[in-house]
Amino acid sequence: MAKKTVATLQKGGKNLTKVIKMVRSDKSGAYSFKEEIVPNEKVKDFFAKN
């Protein structure tokens, strides 16, 4: 059953990318990570925005 689900998810995943950006907090100065799954065309836009 799991193989069928994984195979279904992999068909549409070729045009998506998981991006991770390190963001610094203004209040504490600590770093946190912001993760999103975006289309391949929007990867540069994700890193460009603050």
Q: Dihedral of CA 28/33/39/40: which sign?
A: positive
Instruction: Report DSSP letters for 2-36, one per residue.
Output: HHHHHHHHHHHGGGEEEEEEEEE-TTT--EEEEEE
pLDDT over 80 at 20, yes or no: yes
What pTM does this model have?
0.58
Q: Dihedral of CA 23/26/31/35: which sign?
A: negative
Average confidence (pLDDT) over 3-32: 78
Q: Please report which confidence band the pLDDT of residue 49 belongs to, taking 50, 70 and 90 as the band edges.
A: confident
Max Cα distance, the chain (Å): 47
pLDDT over 80 at 16, yes or no: yes
